[in-house]
Amino acid sequence: MSVIEFTLIVLIGSCFAGLVGSLTGLGGGFIIIPLLTIFLHVDIKYAIGASLVSIIATSSGSAAAYVKEGITNMRLGMFLEIATTLGAVCGAMLAMYIPTHYLAIILGVILILSALLSLRKKAQQIVTHKNDLAAKLKLNGSYPTADGVVNYHVSKVGGGFVVMLFAGLLSGLLGIGSGALKVLAMDSIMRIPFKVSTTTSNFMIGVTGAASAVVYLQRGYIDPEIAMPVVIGVLIGALVGSKILVNSTSSGWLRWTFVVVVIFLASQLIYNGIMGKI
């Protein structure tokens, strides 16, 4: 395969990854890492390094639009980033000592679980009772809807913080952003409206990815020839996805497409990891 063919395949795949990552709040690593390792035979640690760079691009591309629209809870995101950043640095350091085929198996399992979690469809629940810690930290917020501004309160701050530690650990270990766990923590535990949790996750994954990327950069696992088309493609996809999410109330068809693609890629990762091909 020539350099031009390699670059074009990575660019197109990264566009799709950025689009889906922006719409679901899960980050583009779910598609980029399997694409690079399974189909293009890139070493998984270099794929993780490129994925971490793409996560930063996804967050930069979509978070700006969400913040401008007033949907993202920036104060909550910065508070939870304390947990995810600590976890991400620990995960990235741990990944240096784990054999690549084990990383592939772990990543495949996490991808399948995250894809299934993304299908959760819950009735919108706005918490109205106040949480003392959330009030002291000024984490409560509001977001615009077609029917006007909706105010909400954050609950179970401690529980969400603990889950974010684990999400950061997985992000640094596997280079996937762990958006599914971030959205789960904010949506199900802290009871934040789904649209706010998704956009806040997009805002957060860039900081988490940057913390992990420093470790991979120091170890030489970020190759510009791989990372460049990934970043460009993901950034384009993320910008398109942010426009769709802001102006649309439903992206169910894309979620199902995402789930089917990710489960297929994850099964291939697990198989190749067990067979020692990665």
Please give the pLDDT value at position 83.
92
73 phi, psi to nearest 5 deg: -95, 90
Q: How many domains does the chain have?
A: 1
Instruction: Tell me which of 99-103, 164-168, 234-238, 251-255 is least confident.
Output: 251-255
The span from the CA of 222 to the CA of 92, in Å, is 13
pTM for the structure as a whole: 0.75
3-state secondary structure of 277: coil
- Reported confidence tier of residue 118, pLDDT bands at 50, 70, 90: low
pLDDT at residue 205 tops 60: yes
| Residue-wise pLDDT tens digits, 29-60 | 777 888 898 888 899 889 989 988 888 877 77
38/169 Cα distance (integer angstroms)? 24
Confidence at 246, pLDDT banded by 50, 70, 90: low
Tens of pLDDT, residue by residue over 68-114, are 778 889 899 999 999 999 998 898 888 888 888 888 898 888 878 87
Q: 20 pLDDT exceeds 70? A: yes
Helix residue spans in the chain (DSSP H): 3-24, 29-34, 44-69, 74-95, 100-117, 132-136, 157-174, 179-184, 194-218, 224-247, 252-274
Q: Is the pLDDT reported for residue 123 higher than 70?
A: no
Q: How confident is the model at residue 223 (pLDDT cuts 50, 70, 90)?
A: very high
pLDDT at 229 over 70: yes
Per-residue pLDDT at 127: 56
**Element (DSSP H or E) covering residue 143:** strand 141-145
Q: What's the chain's average pLDDT?
A: 82
- What pLDDT is recorded for position 251? 52
CA dihedral (228, 234, 235, 237) positive or negative: positive
User: Residue 168 is part of which domain span?
Assistant: 3-274
Give the count of beta carbons closer than 10 Å to the beta carbon of residue 68: 11
| pLDDT of 259 | 76
Does the pLDDT of residue 178 top 60, yes or no?
A: yes
pLDDT at 8 over 90: yes
pLDDT for 241 equals 77
Highest mean predicted confidence (pLDDT) among 16-20, 63-67, 126-130, 148-152:
148-152
